[in-house]
């Protein structure tokens, strides 16, 4: 019995044989899997890896050697009463006489410091030095920088990468895009760079080059973080966001792609602490090319104008207008003498297309119209109370910017009518001294109410509610009641603040 247990039986031999066969099969399968794995997976992964290696240079040195000579420092003499030296748009750096910092900046070409030092104490005018960067775009000395670098300049000089200094003439500026065109005097055969033919993609490598404080060219690298950024700088905001560290003195300097072409002009940084946090904004090359061409040809930039106040279509406004999605630009006001009003555009219209091209939002409409020339005729696609229309508008010339002045509220006659569901107190405009005779004046705003959240302020005038004109608070109440009965969640109001008009969607709330 024991002999039988110790010796392999036929059954045990059979089980062992099957186990070895199974192990061999698994091992064989593993070998097959290991060998065949690249065949099972698509070839995209190796291809992407190869593309990444191809796009990412082992070093940026070759690009730097190619483009750096075209980048220069801009030095602007600005008359100033604060007797301090200003760098790159407002950094005040006062140095005591004979200090190491004063000697340091004199060494790098600043000459005598301002505020009467260095043997010039008898001057009656005080000057500061603004600093920035720029780059040549032609061999005969045309160069680009930011408008904010040179806008207050009495004289402008540029210092090239090889240390030479040239006087520069400001050919023209465009404050709305923050672009300025310069022309170096007394030189020729300048090294220059070209603009890129196509916009960069998010994730592309970029190289920012500048000449901050005239200390010599600096180079930083990063990627494109985003495009189409609106930072509130103006009506034509369309910035490229990059994460390459950009110093304040690099304003006006170029951002390059890996081929050495300019994809943007550095113009702003986001810096809550005053230091660089890796968020910088550049004006796209296509915008710069268009502006520079006009500045070189005429010295000024002229833009098309249709004479409307516009605002984005928010989700609440879309719901109020019965739109399926929030898109297009809402006409808050069409100036009576403007091209759009003459063509039949009305307040409350939503502009959906320009010459057949979709209008994404209010900023997109401003950009599309601004890119066209005055006297050009365009076709605007409109949505008016659910009906599509097309009108032809002959563009006017963009007028000088008009600053809106907000009227105060002289609440001499306090005929308020409280509407707690909206967080508003209202009075007929005719009963409020200083107000117009039309509409309903906001006399008080609950800081915790829905109206305050949407920007209502005392002194605002409500002229329309749900497409109907209002003259008394009771008109507003009636419109609210109708909206509730129709099952609407929001109601659209037309509001004037000073000279500006906008539409605001407020929740209907409960009575």
Q: Are 283 and 267 in contact (CB under 8 A)?
A: yes
| Burial category of 6 from C-beta neighbours within 10 Å (exposed 0-12, middle 13-18, buried 19 and up) | exposed
Is 471 labeled as catalytic in the residue annotation? Answer: no
Q: How far apart are CA 144 and CA 192, in angstroms?
A: 11
Q: Residue 239's closest CA among 194, 281, 269, 274?
A: 281
One-character DSSP codes across 360-423? -SHHHHHHHHHTSPTT-EEEEEEEETTEEEEEEEE-EEPPPP----PPP-B-SS---EEETTTT
DSSP state of 18: H
Q: How far apart are CA 33 and CA 29, in angstroms?
A: 6
- Across 114-178, the runs of DSSP E, i.e. the strands, are 127-136, 142-145, 155-159, 165-174
Q: How far apart are CA 447 and CA 425, in angstroms?
A: 12
Query: Which listed residue (86, 128, 174, 178) is catalytic?
Result: 178
Is 251 labeled as catalytic in the residue annotation? Answer: yes
Query: Which listed residue (80, 128, 133, 148) is catalytic?
Result: 148
Is 148 labeled as catalytic in the residue annotation? Answer: yes
Q: How far apart are CA 247 and CA 280, in angstroms?
A: 9
Q: How far apart are CA 413 and CA 431, in angstroms?
A: 6
Q: Are 260 and 222 in contact (CB under 8 A)?
A: no
Count of residues in the chain? 511
Query: Which listed residue (86, 88, 225, 251) is catalytic?
Result: 251
The number of C-alpha atoms within 13 Å of 463 and in the hemisphere containing its C-beta is: 17
| Burial category of 430 from C-beta neighbours within 10 Å (exposed 0-12, middle 13-18, buried 19 and up) | middle
One-character DSSP codes across 434-500? TS-SSSEEEEEE-TTSHHHHTT--TT-EEEEETTEE-SSHHHHHHHHHHHHHTT-SEEEEEEEETTE
Residue 261 vs residues 16, 183, 206, 220, 255: alpha-carbon distances, Å: 71, 21, 10, 15, 8
Q: Would you name the residues annotated as active-site residues?
A: 148, 178, 251
């Amino acid at each position: 019995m024991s002999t039988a247990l110790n010796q392999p039986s036929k059954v045990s031999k059979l089980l062992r044989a099957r186990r070895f066969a199974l192990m061999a099969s698994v091992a064989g399968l593993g070998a097959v899997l290991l060998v065949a794995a690249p065949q099972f997976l698509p070839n995209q992964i190796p291809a992407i890896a190869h593309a990444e290696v191809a796009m990412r240079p082992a070093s940026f040195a070759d690009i730097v050697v190619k483009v750096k000579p075209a980048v220069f420092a801009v030095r602007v003499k600005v008359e100033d009463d604060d007797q301090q030296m200003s760098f790159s748009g407002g950094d005040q750096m006062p140095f005591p006489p004979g200090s190491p910092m004063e000697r340091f900046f004199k060494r790098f070409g600043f000459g005598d410091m301002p505020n009467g030092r260095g043997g010039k104490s008898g001057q009656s005018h005080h000057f500061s030095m603004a600093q920035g960067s720029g780059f040549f775009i032609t061999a005969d000395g045309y160069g680009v920088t930011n408008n904010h670098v040179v806008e207050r300049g009495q004289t402008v000089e540029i210092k090239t990468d090889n240390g030479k200094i040239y006087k520069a003439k400001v050919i023209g500026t465009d404050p709305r895009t923050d672009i300025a065109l310069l022309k170096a005097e007394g030189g020729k055969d300048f090294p220059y760079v070209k603009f890129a033919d196509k916009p960069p993609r998010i994730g592309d490598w970029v190289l920012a080059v500048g000449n901050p404080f005239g200390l010599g060219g600096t180079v930083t690298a990063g990627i494109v973080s985003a495009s189409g950024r609106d930072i509130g700088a103006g009506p034509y905001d369309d910035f490229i966001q990059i994460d390459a560290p950009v110093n304040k003195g690099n304003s006006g300097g170029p951002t390059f792609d890996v081929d050495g072409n300019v994809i943007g002009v550095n113009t702003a940084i986001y810096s809550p602490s005053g230091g660089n946090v890796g968020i910088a904004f550049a004006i796209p090359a296509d915008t710069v090319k268009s502006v520079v061409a006009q500045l070189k040809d005429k010295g000024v930039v002229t833009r098309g104008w249709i004479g409307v106040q516009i605002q984005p279509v928010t989700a609440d406004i879309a719901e109020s207008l019965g739109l399926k999605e929030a898109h297009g630009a809402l006409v808050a006001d069409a100036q009576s003498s403007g091209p759009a009003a003459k063509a039949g555009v009305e307040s409350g219209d939503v502009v959906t297309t320009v010459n057949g091209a979709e209008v994404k939002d209010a900023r997109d409409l401003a950009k599309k119209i601004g890119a066209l020339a005055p006297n050009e005729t365009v076709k605007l696609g409109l949505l008016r109370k659910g009906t599509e229309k097309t009108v032809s508008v002959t563009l006017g010339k963009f007028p000088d910017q008009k600053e809106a002045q907000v009227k105060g509220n002289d609440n001499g006659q306090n005929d308020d009518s409280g509407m707690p569901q909206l967080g508003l107190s209202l009075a007929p405009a005719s009963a409020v001294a200083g107000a117009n005779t039309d509409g309903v004046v906001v006399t008080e705003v609950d800081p915790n109410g829905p109206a305050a959240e949407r920007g209502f302020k005392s002194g605002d005038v409500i002229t329309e509610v749900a497409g109907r004109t209002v003259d008394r608070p009771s008109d507003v109440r009636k419109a609210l009641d109708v909206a509730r009965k129709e099952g609407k969640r929001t109601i659209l109001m037309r509001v004037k603040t000073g000279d500006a008009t906008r539409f605001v969607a407020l929740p209907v709330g409960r009575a």
